[in-house]
Chains A and B, each alone.
Chain A
Amino acid sequence: MQKRNNWLLLALFAPAFAVFVAFFLLPLARLAFASAMGPSGFKIYLAAITTPRYLETLVYTILLSAGVTLVTLVISGIVGVFLTRNEFRGKSLLVSMLTFPLAFPGVVVGFMIILLVGRQGLMGDITKLLTGEKLVLAYSMAGLFLGYLYFSIPRTITTIMASAEKIDRSLEEAARSLGASPWRVVKDVLIPALVPGLISSGAICFATSMGAFGTAFTLATNIDVLPILIYTEFTLIANIAMAAALSIVLGLITWMALSVARAAAGNSVAAAG
């Protein structure tokens, strides 16, 4: 009986596993293999992290992603906690608007940034009116930063709201009954309780930023980020080995970020994604 059930369960499990192996694990193994098939073999990884152009892009991408993650956590933390802790008219509309961009692909996010701070963007019009000078941020690091914020904030707000809702309100009430001021309550109760949620959403925010392609692609900025670099290596220069090696490096960095967060915050990181 038990044995038969095991076979049936295996039969339910096997198709997904097979597809996953065939179209994910196997290709990824080939990718790793391809990276070492170039003329320089495994030394290509050394080249990937020592060649100034690659190294610079790598550092930029990591700094950009880390900065975006930090700012996103602060913004979404404030907004998310505010929204879970207060009831007011129009709240659900506000929440819907804040989470609407959740489903935007990177290209649309890029377009939004162009509309906001591009050559013909709103910000340009306003600044021209105020100072006579047109402020255009879209095609610089600042534009990328805003774009990454744009897609990170909605995701992070939803996960932070979910974890803020789970906090036992009586903890806060207990702290207040013991005489803690509102700020002490935030510092001693709220933030510690939010930490696992912050770590996990931060890790996902970082990973998505590292791998984001569409936004940078649409903005066509003068600063390369790693995904764009991989794309140009592959399609324009046809340096398949380097493209593969850089992909592996990128994958390792994001995977490490998620693993560290998972170890730090418990098992909820992937589920929150």
Chain B
Amino acid sequence: MQKTKSMLFHAQFLFTLLVCAFLIVPVVQSVVAGLTENFIMGVKSGLTLRWFVQVWSLYRDTIFLSILIALTCLAVTLILGVPAAYAMVKKQNRWTRLFEELLVTPLAVPGLAIALALIINYGGFTGFRTSWIFILVGHVIFTLPFMVRSVIAIMNSVSLKEFEEGAASLGAGFWQRFFQVVIPNALPGILAGSLMVFTLSIGEFNLTWMLHTPMTKTLPVGLADSYASMRLEIGSAYTIIFFLMIIPLLIAMQWVAKPRQREFVMEKSHAATGATVLRPIAAASCSPDQKEGGRKLSGTALRLVNCAKTFVDGTRALEPFNLKVEAGETVVILGPSGCGKTTLLRIIAGLESPDSDGRVYFGEDDVTDVPIEKRNVGMVFQSYALFPNMTVAENIAYGLKVRGIEAAPRHQRVSEMLDMMKIGQLQNRHIDQLSGGQKQRVALARAIAVRPKVLLLDEPLTALDAKLRDLLRVEIDSLLRSLGITAIYVTHDQSEAMALGDRIVVMNTARVAQVGSPREIYFEPQTRFVAEFIGTINRLKGRLQEDRLVFPGGSIPLPASSAVRAGENGNVELFFRPEHAALVEFGQGHLHATVVASFFMGDRTRVIIEGSSDDYLTIETKGIQSFKKGQRVEVAIDPGALLRLDS
């Protein structure tokens, strides 16, 4: 095995060397020919630079003109191509798609045909036809697609949309976003495109040969002339000059294409090391102006009236929605993915507008038509949307800078935030040098630094591992409480919702399922969806007989106060949570059942039983007892905890 592999390796290696020889031998020949007295005699005839001197006197104009055209072509493609690429990434519509399609055609149409077309159309304008601008036009058409595609590729690969939304949430307008966020983050692609354009323009021949005039000869045209003159030494020396011009460009291209990564500071997910990497932020460590008086109401009340959202394709992302959030309140929007909760948050943020009759109020102000950058919100994105082109401190300062806050107070506020989040030691780091938990804190600091009216958090903990999530949940909770800021927190994690929310809005399929305090949601769910989404719930199917519920495995007396006693004697479905039942001694319970499975969870044991209902029931029990499959058990249920739910 090893032997055949090494034979295969050597065969391929030899083949590769042969291919390389085919490509490089003539290059070496030309270098030798250009530097020796006599091409046929070779090195024996002696080395000389006289051919270079001759090339210089005969053809130096072509070199200058080529550089002039390549530089101008680069400038034009930058000015035209980069904004167009941005617009095409941002706005996907018929026109931009058509243009993207059209941009491929100069690659498909041979240069000769483009040149011919240009001559037929513009050849009559003699001044234009005989100037180098005419060649420039051809080069621009030929190279523009490369620039646009290179920039589009980079803009699609960095999460431009998130960065832009991040910048907008901090108050940056269109041009600020374009120049401070879009361009810096697209820089590698712009650079790669620039090198490509410059190299292509320097070496372009197909178009140029047709477009040139005796007064406007470029380097490749000169090369063709020198080859046609049949003086191999001069042709070779001229070719060496061309090589010398493109070699730095090729090296630069390889350098640009090489992926570079900054040193990444690993973060351990263990609680112990997690604590050293992330020093806990305490509620008391908040900035002085917000410390006193416990829960200070610094936020703004928020009101959504009739906010619906229908997407262009007709999908209803959100049914008409009404919500009132008190100043300083934390409201958690909870629901499964695709339920419309993110759309709701984006409507509040100003990243989406509600359908025409929906209104969004901050306090008494109708902000429905105010763009996000003017709303003064703070937003923490799921991916954090931290700007990779800025350091930690610059990220935090960005919103203040956009607001035109002067350097001194800006620095003060930034160091305040760094202290508050205990990330002072990270302030000069770049974003890709941060761990997930650290990014989270920077994102929070950046959002809070601008003293927003409303803080919006879009699943801010989803990207973190479980242990860190628990830690940061506690921190966010104490932070929100000490700041007293109005906060809307979107999550699909019920334990996050329970821990953080003053109120929870449970959503399902674009509608509100229930609004209430965590306790109300948990103990008094109004629908089966809510009951099942939050925690675990068991279903008992049976019949009401007098004041008892009777089902196959037993019966339960219903207390007089119970809501299920609607006086009917028909079939009913009742629900209860695992912790409202217990496994008891035989003869003391309400129903008999058989163990299907049991899961030891450490602090408790979860037992799945069957026999008293169509469904399995889940019971939780504390203590050290273990259970075997098939074991008979008896269960007592708290009758007061039985719920009746609409499906």
Residues of chain A having any CB pair with chain B under 8 Å: 1-2, 4-6, 8-10, 12-13, 15-17, 19-20, 23-28, 30-31, 34, 75, 78-79, 82-83, 86, 88, 94, 96-108, 110-116, 120, 122, 149-150, 153-154, 182, 204, 207, 210-214, 217-218, 227, 230-231, 234, 240, 243-244, 247-248, 250-251, 254-255, 257-258, 270-271, 273
Contacts and interface: CB of A to CB of B under 8 A. Distances in A.
A96 B254 contact: yes
A211 B227 contact: no
Nearest to B106: A24
B108 A207 contact: yes
Contact of B112 (A103, A114, A211, A218): A211
A37 to B, nearest CB: 10
B109 interface: yes
Contacts of A182: 4-5, 8
B335 interface: no
Contacts of A101: 23, 27
B120 A30 contact: yes
A106 B200 CA distance: 12
Interface string B333-362: 000000000000000001001000000000
B29 A82 contact: no
Nearest to A219: B227
A97 B20 contact: yes
Nearest to B353: A2
22 contacts: A12-B87, A15-B84, A19-B140, A20-B99, A23-B137, A24-B102, A31-B117, A82-B16, A94-B16, A108-B220, A108-B223, A111-B26, A113-B26, A154-B23, A214-B209, A217-B209, A230-B113, A244-B120, A251-B108, A251-B113, A255-B105, A271-B149
Contact of A111 (B13, B105, B122, B239): B239
B122 A27 contact: yes
Contacts of B114: 24, 27-28
A128 to B, nearest CB: 12
Interface string B132-162: 0000010011001110110001000000000
Contacts of B249: 103
B30 A111 contact: yes
B203 A82 contact: no
B110 interface: yes
Given A16-B83, A251-B110, 19 more contacts: A23-B118, A24-B105, A31-B113, A83-B16, A97-B20, A100-B23, A103-B246, A106-B205, A106-B206, A107-B223, A112-B26, A211-B112, A213-B206, A230-B113, A247-B112, A250-B110, A250-B112, A258-B104, A270-B103
Contacts of A31: 113, 116-117, 120-121
B29 A105 contact: no
B108 A254 contact: yes
B111 A211 contact: yes
Contacts of B110: 210-211, 213, 227, 247, 250-251, 254
Contact of A213 (B81, B205, B246): B205
Contacts of A108: 203, 220, 223, 239, 242
Main secondary structure of the interface of B (DSSP, over half): helix
A268 B104 CA distance: 11
A23 B13 CA distance: 47
Closest 10 CB pairs of A and B: A211-B110, A12-B83, A16-B84, A27-B117, A247-B113, A13-B87, A112-B26, A1-B371, A27-B121, A31-B117
A214 B206 contact: yes
Contacts of A83: 16
Interface of B: 4-5, 8-9, 12-13, 15-17, 19-20, 22-27, 29-30, 33, 39-40, 79-81, 83-84, 86-88, 90-91, 95-96, 99, 102-114, 116-118, 120-122, 137, 140-141, 144-146, 148-149, 153, 174, 199-200, 202-206, 209-210, 220, 223-224, 227-228, 232, 235-236, 239, 242, 246-247, 249-250, 254, 350, 353, 369-371
A27 B119 CA distance: 8
A30 B205 contact: no
Contacts of A122: 25-26, 29
A234 B116 contact: yes
A28 to B, nearest CB: 5
A234 B236 CA distance: 30
A12 B86 contact: yes
Contacts of A20: 99, 102-103, 141, 144
A24 B33 CA distance: 41
B87 A98 contact: no
**Of A27, A86, A153, most B-chain CB atoms within 10 Å:** A27
A78 B12 contact: yes
Nearest to A259: B108
A90 to B, nearest CB: 10
Contact of A120 (B15, B39, B144, B371): B39
B107 A207 contact: yes
Contacts of B33: 115
Nearest to B174: A8
Nearest to A16: B84
Contact of A103 (B4, B12, B250): B250
**Chain A contact surface mostly:** helix
A150 B204 CA distance: 17
A6 B90 CA distance: 9
Contacts of B112: 211, 213, 227, 230-231, 247, 250
Nearest to B223: A107
Given A25-B102, A211-B206, A107 B199 contact: no
A160 to B, nearest CB: 13
B27 A100 contact: yes
Contacts of A9: 86-87, 90-91
A37 B108 CA distance: 24
A272 B29 CA distance: 31
Nearest to A218: B227
A107 B210 contact: no
A17 B84 contact: yes
Contacts of A79: 12, 15-16, 19
B114 to A, nearest CB: 7
B26 A15 contact: no
Contact of A16 (B25, B26, B81, B220): B81
Contacts of B109: 28, 211, 251, 254-255
A23 B125 CA distance: 14
A13 B96 contact: yes
B388 to A, nearest CB: 23
Given A102-B250, A217-B209, A240 B120 contact: yes
Contacts of A248: 113
Contacts of B24: 97, 100
B108 A255 contact: yes
A8 B205 CA distance: 37
Contacts of A230: 112-113, 116
B179 to A, nearest CB: 12
A204 B145 CA distance: 15
Nearest to B26: A112
A74 to B, nearest CB: 10
B116 A82 contact: no
Contacts of B25: 116, 122
Contacts of B210: 231, 234
A13 to B, nearest CB: 4
Q: Give the most central of A12, A17, A153, A210: most B CB within 10 Å.
A: A12
B262 to A, nearest CB: 22
A217 B199 CA distance: 21
Given A6-B91, A115-B29, A213-B110, A13 B84 contact: yes
B362 to A, nearest CB: 16
A30 B123 CA distance: 12
